Amino acid sequence: MSTIELNLPFTREEASRVKPGDIAVLSGVVYTARDAAHKRMFALLDDGLPLPFDIKNQTIYYAGPAPAKPGRVIGPCGPTTSSRMDNYAPRLIRLGLTGMIGKGERGDSVRQALRETGSLYFQAVGGAAALIARCVKSAEVIAFEDLGTEAVRRLTIEGLRARVYDPYQ
């Protein structure tokens, strides 16, 4: 196991230098999306409409950040349970998604999609929402504002640490 710095977004070629068990230090742009946002994104895809952001080479952070207190970029911003997005992830991975950040294990269909494509799943530490929020340098709602904390946000992060998941386990 080693520590590797990874700038986001990243390509699958760049992902190939990352190994399961590595600790990734992630910096760059991620998009937040939880259950409700995934449901809406799938409705767009099913209707032949574009997603609110180009999914190719992007990373989705399974989080619903709390509102920011005055003087802060964002409120607590911890990962949610990733398995709740397992019905959605394989399709997004096959459309070009290269990374996901969340907590917990992934189901068989997600592990298979990760193995087939070389995309990565990063396991962040649950219960560290306030600490993770310190890694967020900017935050902007880009879609589904009516969902409140579950709206899709574009975050710029710096130094978010997460373990690279092993899809073969």
Active site residue ranges: 38
**Six token digits for residue 94:** 């096959």
- Helices of type H across the chain: 12-15, 35-46, 89-94, 108-117, 129-133
Question: By the 8 A CB rule, do 80 and 37 touch?
Answer: no
Burial per residue of 14-50, b for 16 or more beta-carbon CB atoms within 10 angstroms, e otherwise: bbeebeeebebbbbbebbbbbbbbbebbeeebeeeee
Half-sphere exposure in the Cβ direction for 89 (13 Å, CA): 30
- Identify whether the C-beta of residue 45 lies closer than 8 Å to the C-beta of residue 139: no
- Are 153 and 65 in contact, with CB atoms under 8 Å apart? yes
